Amino acid sequence: MFQAIINIFRIPELRNRVFFTCTMIAIYRIGFWIPLAGVNQQQMVEAAAKATEDSSGWGKFLDYASIFSGGSFSQSTIFGLGIMPYITASIIFQLLQSVMPKLQELKKEGAAGQAKITEWTRYATVGMCFIQAMMWLKFIAAQGLIRPEFLNPGGLLVFYIAGVTALTAGSVFLMWLGEQIDKYGIGNGVSLILTAGIVARMPQALEWVWDNFSTSQQSTSGQVGILGVGFLVGAFIFVVAGAILITVAQRRIPIQQAKHTRGRKTYGGGRHYLPLRVNHAGVMPIIFASSLLIFPSAFFGDLQSAASASPDPSNWWIAMTTFMNANFQMGEYPYIVLEITLIYFFSYFWTTIVFSPEDMARQLRDNGSFIPGLRPGPRTAEYLETVVERITYVGAGFLAVIAVIPSIVSKEMQIPFFVSSFLGGTGLLIVVSVGLDLIQRIEANLLMRNYKGFHDTPARSRSSASSRRPSSA
């Protein structure tokens, strides 16, 4: 592995791409510390910390939103929205491609059609920025986090105009950074920016563990003992290994290519495999499930607060709201059951949208390939659909296990969710999938130039490699 890292800096083109990618990510992290005008940052941080500790609806929203914004919601910076508007717009257009005939036709046109869809996604991103920025600024104003000099009517107008403009420009700039990484960097720019925001929260989690570490073996209230730290490290390694396994796991279906005779030569007849990912839906089911579960937990929490603050509260109403709020918190049994159910539902839902057995069967038939023992056409599509349903069930089970681990650990060990979130959930799956993709991209560049990659694959002899290596390398 160390030799592969050294080889990266021996190739000028690959070295420049890696440096360019690191520079763009550094620019993103610099913008993370530029605050919005008119927001009292000290009160903002204190209010966010209090909401997170009290497990209020706002705290749950901040915990979830921090996955995509690198925690900048709690500090209200110009990159506060992060890359969320672009991701939301991309998901919307991906869903629309399955129901709108015009988008389906553009998708079939190849690169030209995809470029048009990407252009519309950018316009939709700007619209999402305006909507999300206005909602966020209104929420800040409702919480009383605006500086006194901006509380007059003219000051509020300036606050909203400057805030919406800064948040929108920040998200559009991040989208542009991602495209520049795709063009001049190592690729997969938007995902790398998202991953940088997630990884940037790890030092904060490590700092909390260090500050609350106890030399005793058993964990005490508000502290983590030696056994607790050992469990966290072991669980992190185990979950990361499981996330890698589920990300790269495939169900290989044998494919036979038909033979074609042209003149005196015979073409085709080869045997290869059709790889179907076990986790075909990726991280989308956890994102959808986590997003929906924010609303009932926040709703019952606010309902309990309203019932307790009522001038003439009734005992049965307070008891019911307290019971509902207690059972829809992270780590509680009803919450976990509902989360697993939603993950299974959205796993099948998303797989149905992004994978079409009929299109796959038609492509195999058009390419002169077939599955041995099955007739091309409807019979092949039926078989592919059956296989996808079975592997989706297994993949959804893995996702459910990884998704519920952080909430269970947070509740049982009484540690903050931003610490336990590195033991599973959306953030960990995103980091693992993007990290694997980054390694594959770098390794492809190394092998293309006759260098040994990260895996222990047999490399060509140094003499033959040096004789074939381009002079620029």
Cβ within 8 Å of residue 175, ≥6 positions away: 83, 86, 122, 125, 190
Q: Which amino acid, residue 194?
A: L
Does residue 243 contact residue 402 with C-beta atoms inside 8 Å? yes
**pLDDT single digits (tens) 31-45:** 878 888 888 777 777
pTM for the model: 0.78
Q: What is the pLDDT of residue 69?
A: 60
Does residue 274 contact residue 302 with C-beta atoms inside 8 Å? no
Give how far Cα 86 sits from Cα of 100, 168, 186, Å: 20, 11, 20
Q: Which amino acid, residue 49?
A: A
**pLDDT single digits (tens) 186-220:** 888 888 888 888 888 888 888 888 888 777 656 55
CA distance 129 to 440: 33
Residue 466 has pLDDT above 50, yes or no: no
Does residue 380 contact residue 371 with C-beta atoms inside 8 Å? yes
**pLDDT single digits (tens) 104-124:** 888 878 788 888 888 899 999
**CATH, range 1-200+456-473:** 1.10.3370.10
Residue 92 has pLDDT above 50, yes or no: yes
Structure tokens at 183: 């063009």
SS3 sequence of the chain: CHHHHHHHCCCHHHHHHHHHHHHHHHHHHHHCCCECCCECHHHHHHHHHHHHHHCCHHHHHHHHHHHHHCCCCCCCECCCCCCHHHHHHHHHHHHHCCCCHHHHHHHHCCHHHHHHHHHHHHHHHHHHHHHHHHHHHHHHHHCCCECHHHCCHHHHHHHHHHHHHHHHHHHHHHHHHHHHHHHHCCCCHHHHHHHHHHHCCHHHHHHHHHHCECCCCCCCCCCECHHHHHHHHHHHHHHHHHHHHHHHCEEEEEEEECEEEECCEEEECCEEEEEEECCCCCCHHHHHHHHHHHHHHHHHHHHHHHHHCCCCCCHHHHHHHHHHHHHCCCCCHHHHHHHHHHHHHHHHHHHHHHCCHHHHHHHHHHCCEECCCCCCCHHHHHHHHHHHHHHHHHHHHHHHHHHHHHHHHHHHHCCCHHHHHHHCHHHHHHHHHHHHHHHHHHHHHHHHCCCCCCCCCCCCCHHHHHHHCCCCC
Q: Taking Cα atoms as reference points, which of 78, 52, 13, 15 lies closest to residue 419?
A: 52
CA distance 211 to 223: 9
Q: Taking Cα atoms as reference points, which of 43, 48, 37, 36 lies closest to residue 150?
A: 37
Q: Taking Cα atoms as reference points, which of 49, 414, 53, 412 lies closest to residue 222?
A: 414
**pLDDT single digits (tens) 376-402:** 888 889 999 999 999 999 989 988 888
Indicate if 213-423 has the same CATH topology as 1-200+456-473: yes
How would residue 173 be classed by pLDDT, with cut points 50, 70 and 90? very high
Does residue 429 contact residue 281 with C-beta atoms inside 8 Å? no
Q: What is the pLDDT of residue 345?
A: 92
Q: Which is it for strands 265-268 and 259-262: parallel, antiparallel or unpaired?
A: antiparallel
Give how far Cα 228 sits from Cα of 208, 219, 328, Å: 13, 6, 26
Beta bridge partners of 250: 277
Beta bridge partners of 277: 250
Residue 127 has pLDDT above 50, yes or no: yes
**pLDDT single digits (tens) 211-254:** 887 776 565 566 777 888 888 888 888 888 888 888 888 888 88
Cβ within 8 Å of residue 97, ≥6 positions away: 103, 104, 107, 117
Q: What is the pLDDT of residue 314?
A: 65
CATH topology for the 213-423 domain: Preprotein translocase SecY subunit (1.10.3370)
Q: What is the pLDDT of residue 393?
A: 92
Higher pLDDT, 72 or 319: 319
CA distance 98 to 185: 31
Q: Which amino acid, residue 269?
A: G
Domain boundaries, given as residue ranges, for the chain: 1-200+456-473, 213-423
Residue 96 has pLDDT above 70, yes or no: yes
If phi > 0 it is left, if psi is from -120 to 50 it is alpha, else beta; for residue 224 that is beta
Q: What is the pLDDT of residue 470?
A: 42
Residue 125 has pLDDT above 80, yes or no: yes
